[in-house]
Chains A and B, each alone.
Chain A
């Protein structure tokens, strides 16, 4: 038994964060949204929102992120490429893996 929770962020101005929107679009276009059991909002305007609370509890500092519970074991994924590959067993492209590497590796910005 596996449950997948997708936590996405709403920015202070009420708009969705760009990366969260991209990931959601990616999940939608690949027909993977039905395999996401819950979508939780981290609303920057509301510190009590469930996503903000979850991020604090789990020590996550960037959105989006995923919480996967399988056979009672919880794993937090901050890499959506890993979720696609390891949890949803979907194919990823070299380009999206590279884009994520760059987004997650601040020190590569001057390459």
Chain B
């Protein structure tokens, strides 16, 4: 009989044990250990997880965050995935009143001036938080190679400190953490996995339409997202150089 759940004290050990396992092995562990688990699907390369997970557990719960600002190609892709795979797909919408208030107060493109966190908070994080309050674990398509500055240390299994509470711990699985983009695309070709048509138009990373752009050959995919924010993204850091100098 398979033990259910993963106690917090065992997460780091399992993450180390599974660090070099395949995405399918990590997904199998996740789906064996958790009944109440959902896979986050953004309408991009994380389609490989839908392909893998639906073979392991037909009917697997999948959710997408519909910000209301996605590309038409992404909506069509999400719908084609719903038709092709044996999954239970929930498309989550942001709170109407919160979106209306944001747009009334700051307009439809406030993120170009104020940064993306307020808009993403309302359109993505609040619905995600609401969803994660209903599950014990979730699965993401995060990969270490997606951003050298923010994802380089993403483990294959982790306690989700952002969305857990003392009463409701949430475990997060990142089966693709150690895969490269090239490995993801090799899997997609070998298994005839469908993909978002935006990839054929030069989009490496896919998010909301106003905040995502195509990248040039050899440009990092990170450069296709929130490109106007790079200069200020770390402005709250208390620089180590100063701290050292102060001693």
Contacts and interface: CB of A to CB of B under 8 A. Distances in A.
Interface of A: 9, 11, 17-20, 42, 44, 47-49, 52-53, 55-56, 60-64, 94-99, 101-111
User: Chain B binding site: helix, strand, loop or mixed by DSSP?
Assistant: mixed
A62 B126 CA distance: 24
Given A94-B126, A107-B151, A63 B236 contact: yes
A99 B243 contact: no
Given A44-B242, A52-B243, A101 B236 contact: no
B232 interface: yes
A56 B125 contact: no
Contacts of B226: 109
B238 A61 contact: yes
A14 to B, nearest CB: 13
Contacts of B121: 95-96, 98-99, 101-102
Interface of B: 40, 42, 65, 95, 98, 102, 115, 117-118, 120-122, 124-126, 128-129, 142, 146-147, 149-151, 154, 161-163, 205, 207, 225-226, 232, 235-240, 242-247
A48 B115 CA distance: 31
Nearest to B160: A105
A47 B236 contact: no
Given A9-B236, A11-B235, A107-B150, A95 B118 contact: yes
Given A101-B162, A106-B149, A111 B237 contact: no
Contacts of B95: 94
Contacts of B128: 111
Nearest to A103: B117
B150 A109 contact: yes
Which among A11, A20, A61, A98 has the greatest number of chain B C-beta atoms within 10 A?
A98
A53 B242 CA distance: 9
Given A95-B126, A105-B162, A107-B151, A56 B243 contact: yes
Contacts of A97: 129
Nearest to B205: A110
Given A20-B236, A101-B162, A103-B236, 14 more contacts: A9-B236, A17-B236, A18-B232, A19-B235, A19-B236, A55-B243, A98-B125, A101-B129, A101-B163, A102-B124, A102-B125, A107-B142, A109-B226, A110-B225
Closest 5 pairs between A and B when the two form their complex, measured CB to CB:
A98-B121, A47-B246, A98-B125, A47-B245, A106-B150
14 contacts: A19-B236, A47-B245, A49-B246, A55-B243, A94-B129, A98-B129, A99-B125, A101-B162, A102-B117, A104-B162, A106-B149, A107-B154, A110-B151, A111-B65
Which among B95, B120, B154 has the greatest number of chain A C-beta atoms within 10 A?
B120
Contacts of A62: 236-238
A20 B243 CA distance: 18
B246 A53 contact: yes
